[in-house]
């Protein structure tokens, strides 16, 4: 099984974390990198051909606050109408349309909520990475220190994997649905 996680940046000049999680039996291998442009993201997703892509960014934006963000505010989710979030929501919804036209299956996730629900969250990025390593992940996560964007991409990919294993739940409504691990 092959799934992707993307921690999308609002500005294409900023780093977007990208993770491919390959699962073969008990082996969970992650390939992680930083991407920038929508074209670069689409190229890498086409190449990986994941069964599911989990995006840590709003994929639906209509100019109003969404119920799913309010429901996850206890985990730190912000309203999409805040300036920085609005930029991210506009990019996320545009990219979602492009990826859907390519035939890619997408879900919206909130990586911080996933990390907290799974008990792997820590404010210190190195501790988060240590927690992920102790969960049995292999690959790039063993080779170097990862940025917060890359770690969020890993949690997004893990949420995609859990979703395919029917171990997630949906928060929100038709104006936006965020997938989180079962609490």
Q: What is the CATH number of the domain that holds 55?
A: 3.30.420
pLDDT at position 162, please?
98
Q: Look-up: residue for tokens 């965020």?
A: 178
Please enumerate in sequence order all residues whose Cβ is within 8 A of that of 42, keeping only pairs 6 or more positions apart, or say none: 98, 99, 102
pLDDT at position 112, please?
98
Q: Look-up: residue for tokens 């940046």?
A: 9
Domain of residue 34: give its range: 2-181
Number of structural domains found in the chain: 1
Which sign, positive or negative, has the C-alpha torsion 98, 46, 163, 6? negative
| CA-atom Rg of the chain in angstroms | 15
Q: Which of 109, 88, 103 is nearest to 49 (CA)?
A: 103
Tens digit of each residue's pLDDT (9 = 90 or more) over 14-66: 999 999 999 999 999 999 999 999 999 999 999 999 999 999 999 999 999 99
pTM for the whole structure: 0.97
């Amino acid at each position: 099984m092959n799934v992707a996680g993307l921690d999308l940046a609002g500005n294409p000049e900023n780093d977007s974390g990208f993770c491919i999680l390959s699962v073969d039996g008990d082996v969970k291998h992650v390939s992680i990198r930083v991407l920038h442009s929508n074209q670069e993201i689409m190229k890498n997703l086409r190449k990986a051909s994941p069964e599911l892509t989990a995006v840590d960014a709003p994929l639906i934006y209509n100019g109003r606050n969404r119920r799913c963000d309010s429901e996850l505010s206890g985990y730190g989710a912000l309203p999409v109408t805040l300036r920085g979030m609005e930029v991210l929501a506009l990019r996320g919804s545009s990219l979602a349309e492009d990826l859907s036209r390519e035939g890619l299956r997408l879900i919206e996730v909130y990586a911080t909520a996933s990390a907290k629900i799974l008990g792997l969250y820590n404010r210190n990025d190195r501790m988060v990475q240590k927690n992920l390593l102790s969960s049995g992940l292999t690959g790039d996560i063993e080779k170097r220190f990862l940025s917060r964007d890359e770690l969020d991409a890993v949690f997004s990919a893990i949420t995609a994997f859990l979703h395919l294993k029917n171990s997630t739940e949906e928060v929100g409504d038709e104006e936006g649905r965020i997938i989180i691990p079962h609490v």
